[in-house]
């Protein structure tokens, strides 16, 4: 009988970060659209919780990625940087819009 344990191949850390960033960006765009449409703050809460979970997952994936060498990944790095800048801009404008509507949010106001 063979007692060896088979392990799944390690996930590509770049793919994990790219997927997490895409998810966080998509949720941030949804939040922004809802804010622009004047959706009631209470109706935004579930979406904001999902967004927070997605950003936490992105932070975890980034933590794993930065610990690794990145030879030959310039294009992926630049694309990821562009997506992260877009995510931060969406976050900031959504916070500004919510704040101007009188919505009070707990936690950090701005990421930058």
Token pair of 57 as six digits: 């997952």
pLDDT surpasses 60 at 111: no
Of 29, 66, 65, 64, nearest to 50 by C-alpha is: 29
What are the distances in angstroms from CA 100 to CA 33, 37, 72, 105?
Answer: 16, 14, 44, 12
Does the pTM surpass 0.85? The reply is no
Of 94, 86, 110, nearest to 37 by C-alpha is: 94
Task: Return the pLDDT at 108.
Answer: 55
Cα–Cα dist 54/101, whole Å: 25
């Amino acid at each position: 009988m063979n007692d060896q344990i088979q392990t799944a191949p390690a996930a590509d850390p770049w793919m994990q970060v790219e997927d997490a960033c895409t998810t966080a960006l998509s949720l941030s765009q949804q939040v922004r659209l809802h804010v622009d449409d004047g959706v009631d703050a209470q109706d935004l809460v579930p979406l904001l919780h999902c967004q927070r979970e997605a950003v936490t997952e992105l932070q975890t994936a980034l933590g794993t990625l930065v610990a690794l060498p990145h030879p030959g990944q310039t294009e992926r790095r630049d694309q990821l940087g562009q997506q992260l800048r877009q995510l931060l801009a969406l976050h900031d404008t959504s916070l500004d819009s919510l704040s101007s509507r009188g919505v009070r949010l707990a936690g950090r106001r701005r990421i930058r």
